[in-house]
Amino acid sequence: MASSLLSTPSQTLAPAPATARLRAARPAQAMFPRGLPRRGRALRVRASVAIEKETPESEPPPTFLREDGQGAGSGSVRERFESMIRRVQGEICTALEEADGSGARFVEDVWSRPGGGGGISRVLQDGRVFEKAGVNVSVVYGVMPPDAYRAAKGEAGKNGAADGQKAGPVPFFAAGISSVLHPKNPFAPTLHFNYRYFETDALKDVPGAPRQWWFGGGTDLTPSYIIEEDVKHFHSVQKQACDKFDPSFYPKFKKWCDDYFYIKHRNERRGLGGIFFDDLNDYDQEMLLGFATECADSVLPAYLPIIERRKDTPFNEEHKAWQQLRRGRYVEFNLVYDRGTTFGLKTGGRIESILVSLPLTARWQYDHKPEEGTEEWKLLDACMNPKEWL
Concerning whether 192 is annotated as a catalytic residue, the answer is yes
**362 secondary structure, DSSP code:** -
Annotated active-site residue in 182, 192, 235, 319: 192
Rg of the chain in Å (alpha carbons): 20
Strands 170-183 and 190-200: antiparallel
Strands 107-112 and 130-144: unpaired
Task: Please check whether residue 312 is in contact with residue 185, taking contact to mean a CB–CB distance below 8 angstroms.
Answer: yes
In sequence order, the β-bridge partners of residue 143 are 171
The span from the CA of 326 to the CA of 277, in Å, is 24
Give the sign of the dihedral formed by CA 279, CA 280, CA 285, CA 286.
negative
Task: Please check whether residue 118 is in contact with residue 110, taking contact to mean a CB–CB distance below 8 angstroms.
Answer: yes
The span from the CA of 264 to the CA of 249, in Å, is 25
Give the sign of the dihedral formed by CA 241, CA 246, CA 251, CA 256.
negative
Residue 74 amino acid letter: S
Task: Please check whether residue 311 is in contact with residue 188, taking contact to mean a CB–CB distance below 8 angstroms.
Answer: yes
The span from the CA of 169 to the CA of 178, in Å, is 27
Enumerate the active-site residues: 192
